Structure 1
Amino acid sequence: MTLRKFAGLGALLSIVMPSLAMAADEVAAPVLNSGDTAWMLTSTALVLFMTIPGLALFYGGMVRSKNILSVMMQCFAITGLISVLWVIYGYSIAFDTTGMEQGVVNFNSFFGGMGKAFLAGVTPASITGPAALFPEAVFITFQMTFAIITPALIVGAFAERMKFSAMLIFMAIWFTLVYAPIAHMVWSGNGGLLWDWGVLDFAGGTVVHINAGVAGLVA
C-alpha cells in the first residue's frame, strides 16, 4: 500500500512540477540590477561633469580674458537647451524604433519616430538594457549627457566668433538634424542604418567625437 502511495505521489509530481516550472518562466519578470543601476548613475554624473564645469573651464582658459564668461556661459546654456530638447523630442528621435526592420533601409533607418516624444510611455517601472537591468529613466539621463557634451565640444571651434543668440539657434538645429539622427543610426539597434552596416560605437567615438570633430572643422 505504501509503495502504491509513493508511486502515485511520484506520478503526480512528475506532472505538476514541469507545469509549475513553465509557469514560473512565463511569469518571471526582468529584475533590476542594483549594481548596474549604480554604475550607470555614476557614469551619468561623470559625463555631465565633463561638460559642466569641465569643458566650460577648459574652453574658458583658451580664450582672451574678456571672453571667458561668454564661453563658459555658452557651455552652461547648451546644457540647459539640450536637456529640454532631449526630453521633448531628442530621445524619441534617437531611440524610438517604430518602423525599423533589420536589413531594410527606410526613413526610420535614419530618423527615429516620435513615439517617445515628451518621454511618452516611460514610467518609474520602465526598464531597459541588454537584459533589462536598469530603469529606462537612468538610460535616458545617461544618453542625455552625451547629447549635451557633443554640441558643447563644438564651442571651442567658434569661440569669440559667434553671438550668443546665434549659437543657441545653431545648436538647436544641429542637435535636431545631425546629432539625434546619427545617434539613432548607430545606437538604436536592428534597423538603424549604421548599426546594420556593422558599426560599433561603445563609448561615443562616432556619435560624439567624430560627429563634433567634423562640425568643429566646418565651423
Structure 2
Amino acid sequence: MYTLNTGDTAFVMLCTALVCLMTPALALFYGGMVPRKNVLTIMMQNFISMGVIAVIWIFGGFSLAFGPDLGGIIGDITFHFGLDGVGVAPSTEYASTVPFILFFAYQLMFAVIAPALITGAFAGRLTFNGYLKFIILWMIFIYLPACHWIWGGGFL
C-alpha cells in the first residue's frame, strides 16, 4: 500500500506550477526576439500548444507514453485513456508518494513546453494550420514514443 507524502506532493505541485509558467514566459521571451510583425504569431503558437497538447495528452498521449509496454516502442492506449483510473490515489508504478493526477499534470506540463520550445526555430515561417499539423504530428510520432522509451518502460 502506497501512502501520500505531503512534502513530495507539495514539491511536485510547486514544480508543476513553475513548468506551467514556463510556456507564457517562453512566449514573452520569443516575442522579444522576433520582428514586430511576428510577435502575436509566436505568442499565439506558444499558447495554443497548451490546449492542443492537453487534449492529445488526455485522450491517449499519457497512455501511449506511460502505458504498459507494447514491444518496447509505445505504450497501450487503453491504459488511462481519457483519465480513466487517474485520481488522487498514488500510482503503484510512477511517483508512489504523490497523487497520480499530479504526476499526470506534471508530465503534461513538459509535454506542453516541448513543442513550444520549437516555435523559435520557425518564427514567422509557418502558417497557423501548418503549426497545428506540426505539433500534432510531432507529439504523436516523436514525443510520445521517446517519452515511452525513456520514462515509460520502453527499450531505453
Q: Which amino acid aligns with 2:37?
A: K
Higher relative contact order (CA 8 A, sep 6+): 2
2:119 match = 155
Contact 1:128 1:136 in 2 (8 A): no
Q: Larger deviation: 84-93 or 124-133?
A: 124-133
Q: Secondary structure at the match of 2:2?
A: coil
Q: Which amino acid aligns with 1:108?
A: G
TM-score, length basis structure 1: 0.67
1:37 match = 9
Q: 1:45 to 1:129 in 2, by over 3 A?
A: farther
Query: Does 2:156 match 1:185?
Result: no
Task: State the shift of 1:70 in Å.
Answer: 0.9
Contact 1:128 1:135 in 2 (8 A): no
Matches within 5 A, 1:57-136: 57-97=28-68, 100=69, 107-114=70-77, 115-128=79-92, 132-136=96-100
Task: State the shift of 1:124 in Å.
Answer: 3.1
What is the distance in 2 between the residues matched to 1:142 and 1:79? 13
Question: How well do the aligned residues superpose, as a CA RMSD in angstroms?
Answer: 1.5
Percent of pairs with identical residues = 45
What is the distance in 2 between the residues matched to 1:150 and 1:138? 19
What is the distance in 2 between the residues matched to 1:119 and 1:35? 25
Q: 1:154 to 1:45 in 2, by over 3 A?
A: same
Task: State the shift of 1:43 in Å.
Answer: 0.2
TM-score, length basis structure 2: 0.93
What is the distance in 2 between the residues matched to 1:46 and 1:193? 30
Q: Which of the two has higher C-alpha Rg?
A: 1
Q: How many residues align?
A: 155
Residue segments in structure 2 that go unaligned for 5+ positions in a row: none
Q: Which amino acid aligns with 1:35?
A: G
Contact 2:61 2:144 in 1 (8 A): yes
Contact 2:3 2:90 in 1 (8 A): no
Q: Secondary structure at the match of 2:104?
A: helix
Q: Which amino acid aligns with 2:14?
A: T
Q: Secondary structure at the match of 2:33?
A: coil
Residue segments in structure 1 that go unaligned for 5+ positions in a row: 1-28, 101-106, 195-219
Contact 2:95 2:103 in 1 (8 A): no
